């Protein structure tokens, strides 16, 4: 699943390309991907609108449009948004595309079909289901170590599920949660309220560093992720623990192990991340 660094990379790659362009035509092949409005309203609502700005909140992409509308996209497991020439062949698993005013097209492609598109009036954006419940954006200017420390102090939730909880902190998924906890020398099963001040500081720093590095390397491509122009990321080569079971920890030489945690995998160094 694309996580914050991937969604941020898509945002940046598309912002350069589509800002100022107008949607001339909307084609929908798979109506279920359109939520809140019905597909006809979505189609007529988007036609003639101009892309003003692209933003991100957690794993959501927000395309601010003219006439005070916002196109909201969640890519979920395997969704892709690809900008290409309008005369390029329509890729397999394309469920919708928008023809733009410059002979180019923005396509929504999704193998697993879990991704969703929403067209909402700007004034209703904050109340949109999903967006409304999002917690802190870890890279926002309003996210500080003391706020996080206070939030952790009254939660008994274990660290990895807490990092994955989008209503606590928005944008982190399985890959970056493993990398963050490794960097902070913290075990994924550690209850949040048992962290000492120093450990909370490490965790905060690790969240910032790992996500910023992920963005600097333009995201992690393990299977499907590509940016808005179809280019894969490079952070998969920088991962320290995720997907590296049986390989040596760079810090101590112990072998990385894979745990089962609530039906998902967690990768740790058993020496660096003691419970």
**Shortest reach from residue 273's CB to Zn ion, in Å:** 8
Could you tell me which residues come within 8 angstroms of residue 74 by beta carbon, excluding any fewer than 6 positions away?
59, 60, 61, 115, 116, 130
Q: Does 29 bind Zn ion (CB under 5 A)?
A: no
What's the closest the beta carbon of residue 162 comes to Zn ion, in angstroms? 22
By CB under 5 A, which span of 5-13, 94-102, 211-219, 242-250 interacts with Zn ion? 242-250
Q: What is the DSSP letter of 147?
A: H
The catalytic position among 59, 105, 190, 240 is 59
For the chain, give me the number of helices (H) and strands (E)?
A: 6, 11
Contact assessment for residue 56 and residue 71, using Cβ atoms and an 8 Å cutoff: no
Contact call for residue 181 and Zn ion (CB under 5 A): no
120 lines the binding site for Zn ion (CB under 5 A): no
Q: Return the number of the residue (62 or 256) whose C-beta is nearest Zn ion.
A: 256
Identify whether 3 is a catalytic site residue. Answer: yes
Separation CA 179–CA 17 (nearest Å): 31
- For residue 184, the minimal CB distance to Zn ion (Å) is 13
Query: How many residues lie near Zn ion (CB under 5 A)?
Result: 7
Q: Which of 178, 149, 144, 179 is nearest to 161 (CA)?
A: 178
Kindly tell me which of 44 and 254 has the beta carbon lying closer to Zn ion.
254
According to CB under 5 A, which residues from 201 to 230 bind Zn ion?
A: none
In the complex, the smallest distance separating the C-beta of residue 258 from Zn ion, rounded to whole angstroms, is 14
> Closest approach of Cβ 269 to Zn ion, in Å?
3
Least Å from the CB of residue 272 to Zn ion: 3
Q: Does 271 bind Zn ion (CB under 5 A)?
A: yes
Say which residues have a Cβ less than 8 Å from residue 138's Cβ, sequence separation at least 6.
4, 169, 170, 171, 172, 207, 208, 211
- Closest CA relative to residue 243, chosen from 266, 264, 209: 266
Please report whether residue 268 would count as binding Zn ion according to CB under 5 A: no
Which stretch in 9-17, 72-80, 121-129, 253-261 sits in contact with Zn ion by CB under 5 A?
A: 253-261
Q: Which is nearer to Zn ion, 164 or 272 (CB)?
A: 272
Instruction: Compute the chain's Rg from CA coordinates.
Output: 20
Both tokens of 14, joined, read 């598309």
- Taking the CB of residue 96, how many other CB atoms lie within 10 A of it? 24
Q: For Zn ion, which stretch binds (CB under 5 A), given 113-121, 209-217, 222-230, 250-258?
A: 250-258
- The residues, any chain, with a CB within 8 Å of residue 146's CB and separated by 6 or more, are none
Q: How far apart are CA 274 and CA 77, in angstroms?
A: 31
Tell me if 252 contacts Zn ion by CB under 5 A. yes
Distance CA 162, CA 235 (A): 23
The whole-angstrom separation of Cα 259 and Cα 108 is 34
Counting contacts by CB under 5 A, is residue 269 touching Zn ion? yes
Q: Is there a catalytic annotation at residue 240? A: no
Which of 249, 266, 267, 268 touches Zn ion by CB under 5 A?
A: 249
> Does the annotation mark 59 as catalytic?
yes
Q: How far apart are CA 249 and CA 152, in angstroms?
A: 28
Catalytic positions, please?
2-3, 59, 264
Q: Which residues bind Zn ion (CB under 5 A)?
A: 249, 251-252, 254, 269, 271-272
């Amino acid at each position: 699943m694309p996580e914050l660094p991937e969604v941020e990379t898509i945002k940046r790659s598309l912002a350069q390309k589509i800002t100022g362009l107008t949607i001339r035509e909307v084609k929908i092949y798979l109506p279920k991907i359109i939520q809140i409005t019905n597909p006809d309203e979505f189609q007529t609502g988007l036609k003639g609108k101009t892309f003003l700005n692209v933003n991100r909140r957690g794993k959501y992409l927000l395309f601010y449009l003219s006439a005070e509308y916002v196109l909201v996209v969640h890519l979920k497991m395997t969704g892709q948004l690809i900008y290409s020439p309008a005369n390029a062949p329509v890729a397999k698993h394309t469920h919708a595309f928008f023809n733009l005013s410059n002979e180019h097209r923005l396509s929504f492609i999704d193998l697993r079909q879990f991704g969703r598109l929403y067209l909402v009036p700007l004034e209703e954006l904050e109340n949109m289901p999903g967006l409304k419940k999002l917690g802190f954006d870890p890279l926002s200017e309003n996210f500080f170590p003391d706020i996080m420390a206070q939030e952790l102090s009254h939660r008994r939730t274990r660290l990895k599920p807490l990092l994955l909880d989008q209503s606590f902190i928005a944008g982190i998924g399985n890959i970056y949660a493993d990398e963050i906890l490794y960097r902070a020398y913290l075990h994924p099963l550690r209850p949040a309220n048992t962290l000492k001040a120093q450990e909370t500081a490490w965790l905060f720093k690790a969240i910032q560093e790992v996500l910023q590095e992920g963005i600097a390397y333009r995201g992690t491509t393990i299977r499907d992720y590509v940016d808005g122009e179809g280019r894969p990321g490079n952070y998969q080569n920088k991962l320290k623990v995720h997907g590296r079971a049986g390989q040596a920890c760079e810090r101590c030489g112990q072998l990385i192990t894979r745990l089962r945690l609530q039906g998902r995998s967690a990768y740790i160094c058993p020496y660096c991340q003691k419970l």
